[in-house]
Amino acid sequence: MDLVLQNLDFLLRGACYTLQITIVSMFFGLIIGLVVAIARLKGNLAIRGLARGYVSIIRGTPIIVQIFIVYYGLPDYGINLEPLTAAYISLSINIGAYLSETFRGAILSVDKGQTEAALSLGMTGWQTMRKIILPQAARVAIPPMGNTFIGMLKETSLVSIVTVTELLRSAQLLIAQYYIAMPFYIAIALMYWMMSMVFSYILDRIEMKLAKAY
């Protein structure tokens, strides 16, 4: 493990890229997922069809193919993206489709009587969604959303194929330099595990606070 310790700074920089990609992609994925979920529940027939088609296509195709389309396919139409930008876009679009189903299920789990009560008190549909439905749906959505978040953390390793120097790519560069693999793979496996544990702890705390609030 001496080689790992000697190159720990390099691996930590890769881990920081992994965290950055995960957090940014999750942030935009949350926005996409919420918009798509509301579109499927509240939109007209055309909007619901588009939202359903988006979810079906993204969930039905491998994420690695989606990354290839964004990074290698779009240049055919004059759209050239930096590797990191391509990673953000492809991962956000992917995670958004999965989160939309999580949000849709959570929103549907809220008792319809509460919506009717809010509307009878003079609240608009948007006010009802924002003040009554979404806070309660968030409590239901946190556990599956946490699993999705941790899955996204691990799926960031796939963007190494477009030369983003995240954690896996950092290890691959060191392996190519030293011609030894096992210590570096064990090291990054432990780093992925530790990051997953930290995120799990944070999400558990959020879930506990929401449970007390509602």
Average pLDDT over every residue of 194-204: 87
Q: How confident is the model at residue 10 (pLDDT cuts 50, 70, 90)?
A: very high
pLDDT at 214: 56
Q: Is the pLDDT of residue 139 over 90?
A: no
Closest C-alpha to 60, from 32, 101, 106: 101
Average pLDDT over every residue of 179-194: 94
Eight-state DSSP code of residue 74? G
Closest C-alpha to 137, from 63, 46, 34: 34
Q: How confident is the model at residue 211 (pLDDT cuts 50, 70, 90)?
A: low
pLDDT at 77: 94
Q: Cα separation of 115 and 130, whole Å? A: 11
Q: Cα separation of 93 and 199, whole Å? A: 21
Average pLDDT over every residue of 204-211: 75
Q: How confident is the model at residue 143 (pLDDT cuts 50, 70, 90)?
A: confident
Highest-pLDDT range among 100-104, 110-114, 198-202: 100-104
Could you tell me the domains of the chain?
A: 2-213 (1.10.3720.10)
Helices (H), the chain: 2-6, 8-42, 45-59, 63-68, 83-109, 112-120, 125-128, 134-155, 167-178, 182-213
Of residues 133 and 159, more confidence is placed in 159
Of the listed ranges 45-49, 106-110, 130-134, 184-188, the one predicted with least confidence = 130-134
Average pLDDT over every residue of 79-98: 94
Computed over its alpha carbons, how large is the radius of gyration of the chain? 20
Q: Is the pLDDT of residue 150 over 90?
A: no
pLDDT at 212: 67
Average pLDDT over every residue of 136-153: 82
pLDDT at 206: 78
pTM: 0.86
- 3-state DSSP assignment of residue 1: coil
Tally Cβ neighbours within 10 Å of residue 15. 19
Q: Cα separation of 49 and 60, whole Å? A: 16
Pull the structure tokens for residue 107.
Answer: 């929103």
Cβ neighbours of residue 195 under 8 Å, at least 6 residues apart? 15, 18, 19, 153
Of residues 45 and 140, more confidence is placed in 45
pLDDT digits (tens, 9 = 90+) for 108-135: 887 777 777 777 777 776 777 777 777 7
